Amino acid sequence: MYEQAVVDARAAAERFLDDRFVFRREHIEIERWAREEEIDIYEGALDGAQAQLIRTRDRRRIILSDRIADHGARRFNLMHELAHLLLKHMSASLSLMCTPSKAREQRRGAKVNEVSANTFTSAVLVPARQVSSRCNPREVNLDVPWALSKEYDVSILTSAIRVTELSPQRCAAVFSKNGKVVWCAESDTFRHKIRRGTRLRAEALASCFFEDRRLDESARRLPARAWVDGDNAEIVEHSTPSIEHGTVLSMLWLPN
Amino acid sequence: MTTEPKNPSDAHNVLDVIIYEAALAGMENPRPSPKSDAWKRELLADTNERLGEMRRALLPEAAPIRRVKPPRPGLLAMTRDALIALAEQLVGKHGAEHVQFAHRDLSTLSDDDLRSLITHLEDDESGE
């Protein structure tokens, strides 16, 4: 179900970029696109979400939570809500929106629209047509995600995921917190699954951060077993922590 | 081989002749040369660039971001159940098929989020 939603959202993003003749970074103008769709943008307290879209017969509004301090995150949230409107996603019922997220996630398909809007958003904010050629470097590490993050004004998490989506190399971006995997985005060729909720192995550099809040931030070659099973080769890990959030982003690469 | 336009002053006629001659030349030498390929790419890029400029000129300027209006005092005293019921009632008035909600990273709508939502729906109803 998610796979098809991702394929459809990517195709929709390409059409969107074609329609707006987006060739270069400066052509990505989210606020003007929102205005073209007659959307009013608001900012305010929003406890339960980062952003909200409210469309009625007469008005369209996007409300951004004033908890979002990061500019890249604001852009992502705005585009994400615009994606829901453009992709004509059906709303969840009010009573469902008022139930805790854990209970809501158990409903089959409840997250498809979110996956679809996220995919559309990252494909528009970091367009494949502009960055694909940079996603196949000689050595995969966090250098390209850092560069794209600055250039395209998105978070390092968004750019790292985007690199794994577009890279022909065997790589993955892993986000961890409290010593466990929160999510992992693998490239099509990675051929391993690093599951959400898995505890980081002691050999992984990222695990050091959760031991003593220190982390070697250079790209390092390790035995592949530090991260994956059934691969005797080496893996390259390049990790960076967020002291503020107590998280680590790791870019993994299995050189051929 | 060349063909004289029947009426050289007629721009369409001249264009027809050029296209006809180009087609004949293309048939005689169907494989594009690197030079013609480069010309084609350049022309396409140039045309797209101009179309892009025209398309972007149609975009309205970004509007300033506004602050969310505080909820009316009557909403502050309402319980969660009452707030949900009122929000559902307003959705019904707007017509559920015309109303769309979406959230990013939704945990659950708090009471204040519901008050804010109701404020927006009431504003739309009153045309404010």
pTM here is 0.86
This complex has an ipTM of 0.78
Is the CB of A52 less than 8 angstroms away from the CB of B101?
yes
Q: What percent of chain B has pLDDT over 90?
A: 49
Written as six digits, the tokens of A100 are 């805790």
Q: What is the mean pLDDT of residues A160-188?
A: 97
* A141: pLDDT strictly greater than 70: yes
Beta strands A51-55 and A60-65, pairing class: antiparallel
Measured distance CA(A122)–CA(A154) in Å, rounded? 9
For A203, which DSSP code? T
Is the CB of B59 less than 8 angstroms away from the CB of A45?
no
The whole-number pLDDT of residue A115 equals 92
Please tell me if residue B27 touches chain A, with a CB cutoff of 8 Å. Answer: no
A60-100 residue pLDDT tens = 999 999 999 889 999 999 999 999 999 998 887 777 777 77
Please tell me if residue A37 touches chain B, with a CB cutoff of 8 Å. Answer: no
Q: Which long-range contacts (CB under 8 A, 24 or more apart) does A142-147 make?
A: A142/A219, A142/A238, A142/A240, A142/A249, A142/A251, A145/A173, A145/A251
At B88, the pLDDT band (50, 70, 90 cuts) reads very high
Which residues 104-143 of chain A have a CB within 8 Å of chain B?
Answer: 104, 113-114, 117
The whole-number pLDDT of residue B7 equals 61
Q: What is the mean pLDDT of residues B51-80?
A: 94
Nearest residue on chain A to B106, alpha-carbon basis: A49
Report which residue type is found at A79. Answer: M
Angle (CA) A126-A130-A136 rounded to 5° is 90
The whole-number pLDDT of residue B36 equals 84
Concatenating the DSSP letter of every residue in A115-134 gives HHHHHHHHHHHS-HHHHGGG
Q: What is the mean pLDDT of residues A192-219?
A: 94
Compute how many other C-beta atoms are within 10 angstroms of the C-beta atom of residue A64.
23
In sequence order, which ranges of B5-127 are alpha helices (DSSP H)?
11-28, 34-57, 73-76, 80-94, 111-126
Contact list, A97 vs chain B (CB under 8 Å)? 101, 103, 106, 108-109
At B11, the pLDDT band (50, 70, 90 cuts) reads confident
Nearest to A252 by CA among A214, A215, A226: A226
At B105, the pLDDT band (50, 70, 90 cuts) reads confident
At A27, the pLDDT band (50, 70, 90 cuts) reads very high
B13-50 residue pLDDT tens = 888 888 898 888 888 877 878 888 899 899 999 999 99
Please tell me if residue A84 touches chain B, with a CB cutoff of 8 Å. Answer: yes
Angle (CA) A139-A143-A146 rounded to 5° is 150
More confident call, B106 vs A190: A190
* B108: pLDDT strictly greater than 70: yes
B91-102 residue pLDDT tens = 999 988 888 888
The residues, any chain, with a CB within 8 Å of residue A37's CB and separated by 6 or more, are A60, A82, A85, A86
Measured distance CA(B124)–CA(B118) in Å, rounded? 10
Side-chain half-sphere exposure of A15, counting CA atoms within 13 A? 9
Q: What is the mean pLDDT of residues A127-137?
A: 96
Is the CB of A43 less than 8 angstroms away from the CB of B60?
no
* B2: pLDDT strictly greater than 60: no
At B125, the pLDDT band (50, 70, 90 cuts) reads confident
Please tell me if residue B102 touches chain A, with a CB cutoff of 8 Å. Answer: yes
The whole-number pLDDT of residue A105 equals 62
Compute how many other C-beta atoms are within 10 angstroms of the C-beta atom of residue A149.
20
Instruction: Point out the residue among B63, B68, B104 whose CB comes nearest to the CB of A50.
Output: B104
Q: How far is CA B85 from the centre of its chain?
A: 35
Nearest residue on chain B to A54, alpha-carbon basis: B101
Which residue spans within chain A are E strands per DSSP? Answer: 39-44, 51-55, 60-65, 171-177, 180-186, 220-223, 234-242, 247-253
At A55, the pLDDT band (50, 70, 90 cuts) reads very high
* A106: pLDDT strictly greater than 80: no
* A195: pLDDT strictly greater than 80: yes
The whole-number pLDDT of residue B5 equals 54
* A110: pLDDT strictly greater than 70: no
Measured distance CA(A63)–CA(A45) in Å, rounded? 9
Contact list, B113 vs chain A (CB under 8 Å)? 46-49, 52
Return the biggest CA–CA distance within chain B: 89
The whole-number pLDDT of residue B8 equals 56
CB A46 within 8 A of CB A81: no
Nearest residue on chain B to A46, alpha-carbon basis: B113
